Amino acid sequence: MFETSSIPSGTLKKSGARSISGDMVFRLLTRIASAILVLIVAGILVELLRASWMSLEKFGPGFLVSRDWNPVTQEFGALSSIYGTVISTLIAMILAVPVSLMLALFLVELAHPVVSKIVGGAIELLAAIPSIIYGMWGLFVFAPYMADHLQPALQGAAGGLPLFQGPPMGIGILTAGIILALMVLPFITAVMRDVFQMAPAVSKEAAFGLGSTTVEVARSVTVPYGMQGLIGACFLGLGRAIGETMAVTFVIGNNRSLSWSLFDAGNSIASTLANEFSEASEPMYLSALMELGLVLFGITMVIQIIAQFWLKRMARQTGRR
Amino acid sequence: MKALKAMTIAAVAVAAIGTPVLAETETYKITGAGATFPYPVYSQWAYAYKNLTGTQINYQSIGSGGGIAQIKARTVHFGASDAPLKAEELDELGLIQFPMVMGGVVPVFNIDGIKPGELKLTAALLADIFLGKISNWNDEAIARANPELNLPDKAITVVHRADGSGTTWIFTNYLTKISSEWKEKVGSGKAVMWPAGIGGKGNEGVAAYVKRVSGSIGYVEFAYALQNKMSCSLLQNQAGRFVAPTIESFQAGAANADWQNAKGYYLVLTDQPGEMSWPITGATFILVYKEQTDARLARAMLEYFAWCYEHGNETAEKLHYVPMPENVVEMVEKSWHDQIRREGESLWSLAKTNSQ
């Protein structure tokens, strides 16, 4: 039917030759791009090490466990910043992951296509809001609400716990965690939704055919199918939460106390850098701030490694099954 | 790669040709960076001056520390700082420093039922509150200074600056002067290890927290307190009188300052004597190099500063800053004449200013 024979043989050869040279250029371009990426990461690491050398030398590993942060005596330690970063991120994940999971399942399994589209659009819109807006909203709208309603309610319900001590100021680690949860929610949801959509319809229909309820289908087909993507989505959110700067700086309260109470003010690595970098004129002060950056770099790297490890292990397990 | 190289060369060539063209234009572009505290008045002055002469003053309010760093790196023509550099430091860097305008730092509070200006604080009370030693508004020590007030049983939330700041420098300098315990435990600086409280970013951050948190006390630049209609407290000065923060009390604090004997104009105006003096007053400083590279630009810059001293007072006062007294301005201009040079030639003639 097709007149393949009418194509002159010369053209075929020529185009084949062209595609080989095109391939080479393409390969070169991709290699350059990858090399640039590796160089950038290495460059950041080297520069961070170089700039924080003074502080590394003076404080050693004690930097990680020291509570001091005294620009007057030039004694620096990262403990309160690490604590604030980890706890606020943890709160964000505890709040955001279950909600995202429910939301994604609703969008894929239950919602009417029109509703799904509207809610999906809203989620994408939420993801596009700049972090400074979250920060200002957090400080001027949410913090007052926290102080007047949420914190007294928490104290009323579980006032005995060391987690909810102190005057309800509306700002602090808990508020920062909640704002962070709001910020990472759309990211995690969007990825989870895409993952769930890829679960084969045949398997789902088969499960329904066997008489499964929606919950059972979600639990034994959709979620297991997308487990890898699910974990990936969580780490994406985690990565965003841990380095978030402006929004946290607005609501975390920026002090260096270390207490059990989530109502207390604290600081995160990113907020400390945002606050203090521009005015740090002494070399040791600058170097200590750089080392904080290095610590954040390290934390992010460790999280990435754990994520990769986990994903690999899961891939192996699913393979076995 | 070759193409890239060629492009780089072209870019460098363009840059090289471009620079002298810019320098030869008749109107000058002067850049400065530093303290945020005087930014409102600096920007007004620059705007008026540009309309008058065409000389463009580009001032970036990146903070005092940033200002010092930028002038050290020679990326700006002048730096600005709320914390003066010591005379030895100035000599080492080849810089000259002079005070431009003065202002006050004021404690602001948010206590239910207490009106602006009703709360009286002694120096010791202020230090103890910021040390975290007095943690409730119904503390006896506060009641003793305020017998006529009915202070509530409410926890005190101290609000301080989270970022490094000249305002903090002035405030902690005062606390260090009046409390040996503060001096020992905390000290003074643009950023310190605060024993108590929460931190807001910038004057506006502190203002927002104080307005937000009931039972709080913080400190801000006076102009911010006025803009945000915040409640300021009275402070007891060195003479033992309780004074309110006003332009007059700042002026009184500044008037007793002995600029004559301050080497390199290193003078801090906190805790000054005088019946009317506001105890936490401060000047903000300009830093320029003694040895200038571009004589015409340097002259244009000094002319601008001279214009600010002479014609900028009304603007400054409107924005609640205190202009420098005339005798100080004379001293400053004499230092320009004596110290700012280009290849040995003085760039500022005193006769010129006298004739104006």
B251-306 confidence digits (pLDDT tens): 888 877 788 888 888 888 899 888 889 999 989 999 999 998 888 899 999 999 99
What would the pLDDT profile of A211-237 be if each residue is shown by its tens digit? Answer: 888 888 888 888 888 888 888 889 889
- A–B interface: beta-carbon pairs under 8 A: 94
CA–CA separation, A104 and A198 (whole Å)? 12
Of B63, B186, B189, nearest to A278 by CB-CB distance is B63
Q: Does A246 touch chain B (CB under 8 A)?
A: no
- Tell me if A279 and B64 make a contact (CB, 8 A cut-off): yes
Helix, coil or strand: residue A166: coil
pLDDT at A6 over 70: no
Give the residue ranges of chain B where pLDDT is below 50.
1-2, 4, 7, 10-25, 353-356
Of A70, A139, A172, nearest to B208 by CB-CB distance is A139
Cα torsion for A190, A191, A196, A199, to the nearest 10°? 140
Tokens, residue B176? 């260090």
The whole-number pLDDT of residue B13 equals 47
What would the pLDDT profile of A58-104 be if each residue is shown by its tens digit? Answer: 999 999 999 889 888 899 999 999 999 999 999 999 999 999 999 99
Smallest CA–CA distance, residue B330 to chain A, in Å, is 31
Burial of A289 (0-12, 13-18, 19+ CB in 10 A): buried
Q: What is the largest CA-CA distance in chain B?
A: 83
- Tell me if B164 and A276 make a contact (CB, 8 A cut-off): yes
Smallest CA–CA distance, residue A321 to chain B, in Å, is 51
- The b/e string for A180-197 (b: 16+ C-beta within 10 A; e otherwise) is bbbbbbbbbbbbbbebbe
The whole-number pLDDT of residue B130 equals 96
Q: Which are the contacts of B337, defined by CB distance < 8 A and separation ≥ 6?
A: B346, B348, B349, B350
What would the pLDDT profile of A285-312 be if each residue is shown by its tens digit? Answer: 999 999 999 999 999 999 889 888 888 8
- Tell me if A278 and B66 make a contact (CB, 8 A cut-off): yes
- Tell me if B162 and A71 make a contact (CB, 8 A cut-off): no
Q: What is the DSSP string of B231-298?
A: EEPEEE-TTS-EE---HHHHHHHHHT--GGG-GGG----BT--STT--SBEEEEEEEEESB-S-HHHH
CA–CA separation, B279 and A220 (whole Å)? 72
Q: Does A72 touch chain B (CB under 8 A)?
A: yes
The position carrying tokens 């004997």 is B261
- Tell me if A254 and B191 make a contact (CB, 8 A cut-off): no
CA–CA separation, B189 and A90 (whole Å)? 34
The nearest alpha carbon in chain A to B81 belongs to A279
Question: What is the end-to-end Cα distance of chain A in Å, rounded?
Answer: 47
The whole-number pLDDT of residue B352 equals 52
CA–CA separation, A193 and A107 (whole Å)? 7
**What ipTM did this prediction achieve?**
0.77
